[in-house]
């Protein structure tokens, strides 16, 4: 079987991880981006994002990857993915300007028989409204990107959801051959259904997060422990072993927020009810300040000029993204205090912009601190013994929302330990 020749346009997080995974599955991949410096860096094996296994796989499959800033290089591809990240603003609204411009450039540069597949997340109605060259086959594919798990998700998708102009028509042979390399079910459907499927998945995730956050807070007030309840829920067939039941500090990262705002916009436009979605957003905003509320109860106003140590600035582990990061939201409310922070990836200018002290390592961030807040559950932090931190802190308070440390080990070290979902 001849290996499919695949093109990717847009070398941001989505496009790069998808392209590398495609090469790992045996496709011949050409990657386009208009940023010549970025293309040169990627061709040399240097990535610009943080993602586990990305650098390794890029090196291992370099022979199957070509990087270019010349759109004409995509002219011999069997089909081309449109795959840039779609940015969102602080209100979770998508800026579609960049992807529209990229589609227009690609469409105008490639022969009309080459199919285009929109991989970036777009709102319902976007794909069908595109005005492409006559005869151009057009599809929409639901992306599976999760920051920190992007390569694994791209290599091992649960299914492919494919939006089509007519779901009854067979997919182009080369496109189907490529999709079959991943050995997962194919679900063809109309464009609008596929576009809304991604949003539907994320709404279900948000609902699970809302359940976990609401009941975890009740645990904190009643003496129950959410970590003891979760195994019971996961054994219920109606919920399942993979249910998203970890309490957190609200929704972060941008993608879930975008989908919720898309649903609200559609509901307002079409006269349907989205009250439950507005409630999820309200609950998320409330949860973001859980650590701040704990600080006010336990420390602020009780200790003169407290020093606050913060571990983690990224919105989640295994990524450099700080979009809607709970840590940054917390720091924004601590401008009156000395904050000493450490993150294994977020460094330099982003930290300086926060007006806080950047520590060279986790222990140094805790030196002389009255409290430690572990805001991102990086694996690096799990390796630091609580006793080491207890020795360098002035105070004993540790606020660990995500249960990064073992509570018993913290208490054994003489620390006062607080976590989500436990009294």
Q: Domain spans of the chain?
A: 5-191, 199-287, 290-418
For the chain, how many residues are written?
423
Q: Does 42 count as an annotated binding residue? A: no
End-to-end CA distance of the chain: 60
3-state DSSP assignment of residue 220 = helix
Say yes or no to pLDDT of 312 above 80.
yes
pLDDT of residue 306: 96
User: Mean pLDDT of all residues in the chain?
Assistant: 93
Q: Does 316 count as an annotated binding residue? A: yes
3-state DSSP assignment of residue 78 = coil
Give the model confidence (pLDDT) of 23-45 as tens digits. Answer: 999 999 999 999 999 999 999 99
| Assigned CATH class of 5-191 | alpha beta
pLDDT of residue 1: 60
Are the beta carbons of 89 and 61 closer than 8 angstroms?
Answer: no
How many Å apart are CA 72 and CA 19, to the nearest integer?
18
Q: Does 240 count as an annotated binding residue? A: no
Q: Does 244 count as an annotated binding residue? A: yes
The DSSP call for residue 82 is: E
pTM value? 0.81
Say yes or no to pLDDT of 88 above 90.
no
What percentage of the chain carries pLDDT values higher than 70? 100
Are the beta carbons of 400 and 375 closer than 8 angstroms?
Answer: no
How many Å apart are CA 163 and CA 399, to the nearest integer?
45
Give the model confidence (pLDDT) of 346-405 as tens digits. Answer: 998 888 889 999 999 999 999 999 999 999 999 999 999 999 999 999 999 999 999 999
3-state DSSP assignment of residue 31 = strand
Q: Does 246 count as an annotated binding residue? A: yes
pLDDT of residue 68: 97
Helix H or strand E encompassing 108: helix 97-109
pLDDT of residue 349: 87
Of 385, 420, 392, the closest CA to residue 309 belongs to 392
Q: Does 33 count as an annotated binding residue? A: yes
CATH code for residues 290-418: 3.40.50.720
pLDDT of residue 113: 96
**Residues paired with 68 in a beta bridge:** 32
CATH fold match for the domains 5-191 and 290-418? yes
Q: Does 196 count as an annotated binding residue? A: no
CATH code for residues 199-287: 1.10.1040.10
pLDDT of residue 17: 96
């Amino acid at each position: 079987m001849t290996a499919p020749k695949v093109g990717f346009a847009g070398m941001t997080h989505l496009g790069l991880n998808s392209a590398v995974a495609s090469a790992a599955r045996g496709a011949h991949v050409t990657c386009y981006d208009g940023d010549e410096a970025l293309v040169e860096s990627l061709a040399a094996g240097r990535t610009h994002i943080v993602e586990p296994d990305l650098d390794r796989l890029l090196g291992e499959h370099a022979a199957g990857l070509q990087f270019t800033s010349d759109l004409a290089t995509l002219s011999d591809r069997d089909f081309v993915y449109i795959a840039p990240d779609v940015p969102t603003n602080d209100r979770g609204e998508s800026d579609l300007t960049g992807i529209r411009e990229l589609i227009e450039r690609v469409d105008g540069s490639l022969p009309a028989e080459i199919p285009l597949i929109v991989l970036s997340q777009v709102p319902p109605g976007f794909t069908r409204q595109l005005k492409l060259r006559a005869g151009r086959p057009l599809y929409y594919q639901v992306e599976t990107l999760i920051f920190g798990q992007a390569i694994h998700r791209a290599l091992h998708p649960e299914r492919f959801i494919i939006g089509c102009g007519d779901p009854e028509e067979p997919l182009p042979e080369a496109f189907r051959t490529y999709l079959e390399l991943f050995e997962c079910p194919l679900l063809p459907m109309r464009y609008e259904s596929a576009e809304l499927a991604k949003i539907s998945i994320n709404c279900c995730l948000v609902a699970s997060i809302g359940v976990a956050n609401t009941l975890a807070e009740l645990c904190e007030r009643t003496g129950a422990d959410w970590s003891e309840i979760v195994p019971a829920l996961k054994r219920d067939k109606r919920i399942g072993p993979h249910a998203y039941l970890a309490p957190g500090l609200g929704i972060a990262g941008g993608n879930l927020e975008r989908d919720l705002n898309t649903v609200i916009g559609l509901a307002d436009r079409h006269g349907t009810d989205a009250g439950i979605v507005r409630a999820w957003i309200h609950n998320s905003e409330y949860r973001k300040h859980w650590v701040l509320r704990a600080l006010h109860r336990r420390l602020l106003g009780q200790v003169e000029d407290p020093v606050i140590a913060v571990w983690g600035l990224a919105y989640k582990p295994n990524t450099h993204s700080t979009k809607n990061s709970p840590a940054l939201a917390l720091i924004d409310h601590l401008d009156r205090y000395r904050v000493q922070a450490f993150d294994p990836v977020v460094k330099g200018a982003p930290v300086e912009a926060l007006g806080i002290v950047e520590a060279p390592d986790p222990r140094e961030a805790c030196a002389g601190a009255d409290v430690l807040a572990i805001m991102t559950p990086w694996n690096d932090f799990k390796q630091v013994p609580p006793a080491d931190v207890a020795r360098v802190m002035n105070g004993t308070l540790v606020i660990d929302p995500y249960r990064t440390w073992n509570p018993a080990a913290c208490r054994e070290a003489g620390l006062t330990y607080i976590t989500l979902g436990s009294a």
